[in-house]
Amino acid sequence: MQRFASPRCLRPSPPLPPAGARACNEASAVSMALLAPPPSSCHHRSAPLPVPTAASTRHLRGSLLFAAAGGRTGPTSAPMIQPRPAAVERRRCECFDLHQQIVPYAEAYTWQKSIVKRRKELVDSGQDHSDTLIALQHPPVYTLGTDSKEEYLHFNEEDAPFEVHHINRGGEVTYHGPGQLVMYPILNLRYHKEDLHWYFRSLEEVIIRALKSAFSIDASRIEGLTGVWVGDQKVAAIGIHGSRMIVYHGLALNITTDLTPFEMIDPCGIKDRGVGSIKEILKKASDGRGIDDRLLMDIAYNAMINEFAELFQLSLDINSDCSFQ
């Protein structure tokens, strides 16, 4: 068992007054119009990230029909989600920005659980006034959710090519590694919508909007399958665990990820579809021209946190001074 090293930036969240909390076209053309979203008034952060000069229009925002229990996950249509009028009404969310750091999985998992424990104590005392978002990368690792089956592993677990962790999120086996943007929102759904199906669809929507706004990629859902797809390639996986309406774990988006380790598993138990990355999609659209990996990660992260804050109506308090030692 690895020793958990708390990040130097971890600190109790100062209490703030609480506040209350899009079907998209299926995958089509991809362009190289890389555009980081404009600065948002719902963020407090340092200097903006560098962005390419090409411009693209933002995605036409549709809506979601949030599935009832046992419902399917396919695209539907419904009235648009109406944002609240003023950012000052938004619930605070402390964002730990480690998106360019490689954090061991066991340490990040322990960190999440410690935050959840503290949040539950705050709920009991009526002081849970802030949500949490962690953004990072992991070294190569396989994680197996509560539904995982041995048949989805193409290796002997005792002689695995990378670390293997059995964890309490739902779902099957997946792979995490460098070049993959992992985001762990720790939210109290009492302040948003007490519906796990709504939460899954909302995380998918964040990714779909971000890929459109940042890269002009038309991503979509596939009915009956959780995650986000470009054509028949899965570019983002989602898995969560919830207790007393506090949800954690989250999503993993392949940006510049080496996809080879996915060949050693049936990702999420799916045998008949492939896995893709943003870099590979953009390379096909640009005839193989070089793309800077670090810049791609920065653009993706910037777009993701903007869309996350907008959809969940959160005011992000970004801490970029985090480190694990």
Nearest to 173 by CA among 154, 186, 158: 154
**44 forms bridges with which residues in the sheet?**
317
Q: Choosing from 24, 42, 93, 268, which is the catalytic residue?
A: 268
Residue 276 · residue 179 · CB < 8 Å = no
Q: Six-digit token pair at 154?
A: 């193409």
Distance CA 71, CA 198 (A): 10
How far apart CA 74 and CA 91 sit, in angstroms, is 29
How would you classify the pairing of strands 173-176 and 163-166?
unpaired
Residue 268 a catalytic site member: yes
Structure tokens of 247?
Answer: 């949800």
Name residues whose C-beta falls within 8 Å of residue 159's C-beta, 6 or more positions apart in sequence: none
Q: What torsion do the CA atoms of 99, 103, 107, 109 make, to the nearest 10 degrees?
A: 50
What token pair was written down for 150?
């041995």
- On the 0-12 / 13-18 / 19+ scale of CB atoms within 10 A, 87 is middle
Nearest to 308 by CA among 148, 183, 196, 174: 183
Q: Active-site positions?
A: 268
